[in-house]
Amino acid sequence: MRGNTLYIVVPCYNEEEVLPETARRLGDKLKTLMNAGKISPRSRVLFVNDGSRDKTWEVITALHRDNPLLCGADLTRNRGHQNALLAGLMTAKDKADMVISMDADLQDDVDAADAMVDKYLAGADIVYGVRSSRKTDTFFKRTTAEAFYRMMDLLGAETVFNHADYRLMSKRALEGLSQFKEVNLFLRGIVPMIGYAADTVEYERGERFAGESKYPLKKMVAFALEGVTSLSVRPLRMITGLGFLVFFVSLIMIAYNVVRWATGNTVAGWASLACSVWFIGGLILLSLGVIGEYLGKLYLESKGRPRYLIREVLDGEPGERD
């Protein structure tokens, strides 16, 4: 039988306003699951402070003092949502049999965790939380997010539709994840590559409980680009395809021009010439850009810089602290 120690990992960036409420609900959830005998008493909530500039770490420290079920890990600086999440998962991996990751803002329905644990106990190694609707999102966020999933699909990256980072992973799935060494991290694309038995749980995504989104448009676009270029080389192939197409078109153009020349019509055609200069120029710049994107990734990967550094971890049994 597999063990049943659960860790809930929550990345937090400037979340002092929501943390007390999040901690209360997650603490209660742990207690209920423990009392039902589904998870072991060694289960914990692990808040990862992603270099917040507000009092987030102080709040986490205080929460830990009052309730040893609530633990914390403090990153040395802000490394972004995906890296903070990875730091939490890798810290929890050694102590837990299953880990649920969720956002700090209570948009993910805490009660879906029960179903996730049930599916783990029934044998699943990865359980994806899938949003059943996007009613509470703004029109903008909904359309951009759905366009993003479609585009990922089109470009050949395997992702789970309408799944963010609310999911359960078993210990061996996490060990699998730890072998993916890429620095350009896009977790929701990497997790399906791990394999094992996967399942899904549907939930309603609510509104942010307090505070504001830490994902402004700029970060969203960067995240989407990161996702595509980290998971798929299809854009590079598309350039090759485009190259062939343009070459083919230019052959036709040459034949056409020769015919025009032979029939004595050489002066006309300035417009088509000017157009093609722009067209080819634009195409070359675009292609160089895409290649540059991948080159930049290679550059970062080749350095093999650490994806996060942890300053301090608050964890342990009540008696063994300090």
Task: Specify the residue for token string 């942010």.
Answer: 208
Q: Which does 131 bind (CB under 5 to 8 A by kind): Mg ion, ligand UDP, none?
A: none
Q: How far is CA 28 from CA 35, 69, 102, in A?
A: 10, 10, 16
Q: Which does 93 bind (CB under 5 to 8 A by kind): ligand UDP, Mg ion, none?
A: none
Give φ, ψ of 99 to 5 degrees: -130, 130
Residue 13 CB, shortest distance to ligand UDP, in Å, is 3
Pairing of strands 310-314, 6-12: unpaired
Residue 12 CB, shortest distance to ligand UDP, in Å, is 5
Give CA angle at 191 (188, 192), nearest 5°: 100
Residue 239 CB, shortest distance to ligand UDP, in Å, is 31
Q: Which is nearer to Mg ion, 26 or 198 (CB)?
A: 26
Instruction: Give the interface segment with Mg ion, choosing from 85-93, 95-103, 238-246, 279-287 (CB under 5 A).
Output: 95-103
Residue 205 CB, shortest distance to Mg ion, in Å, is 9
Contact assessment for residue 13 and residue 55, using Cβ atoms and an 8 Å cutoff: no
Residue 57 CB, shortest distance to ligand UDP, in Å, is 12
* By the rule CB under 5 A, 107 interacts with Mg ion: yes
Work out which of 105, 108, 109, 125 binds Mg ion, going by CB under 5 A: 105
Residue 106 CB, shortest distance to Mg ion, in Å, is 9
Q: How far is CA 128 from CA 23, 55, 112, 140, in A?
A: 22, 31, 10, 24
Residue 223 CB, shortest distance to ligand UDP, in Å, is 9
Q: Which is nearer to ligand UDP, 141 or 260 (CB)?
A: 141
Which DSSP category does 285 fall into? H
Within 10 angstroms of residue 80's Cβ, the number of other Cβ atoms is 20
Contact assessment for residue 227 and residue 187, using Cβ atoms and an 8 Å cutoff: no
Q: Which does 104 bind (CB under 5 to 8 A by kind): Mg ion, ligand UDP, none?
A: ligand UDP
Contacts (CB under 5 A) with Mg ion, residues 229-268: none
Q: Which does 109 bind (CB under 5 to 8 A by kind): ligand UDP, Mg ion, none?
A: none
**Spatial CB neighbours of 42, under 8 Å, sequence gap ≥ 6:** 5, 95
Residues that bind ligand UDP in the complex, under the rule CB under 6 A: 11-13, 15, 50, 78, 80-81, 84, 103-105, 107, 213-215
Q: How far apart are CA 103 and CA 10, in angstroms?
A: 6
Q: Which amino acid is at 204?
A: E
Q: Which does 50 bind (CB under 5 to 8 A by kind): Mg ion, ligand UDP, none?
A: ligand UDP
Please give the order of strands across the beta sheet that includes 6-12.
Answer: 198-203, 126-131, 163-170, 98-101, 6-12, 44-49, 70-75, 310-314
Q: Which does 189 bind (CB under 5 to 8 A by kind): Mg ion, ligand UDP, none?
A: none
Q: Which is nearer to ligand UDP, 67 or 144 (CB)?
A: 144
Judged by the rule CB under 5 A, the positions of this chain that interact with Mg ion are 103, 105, 107
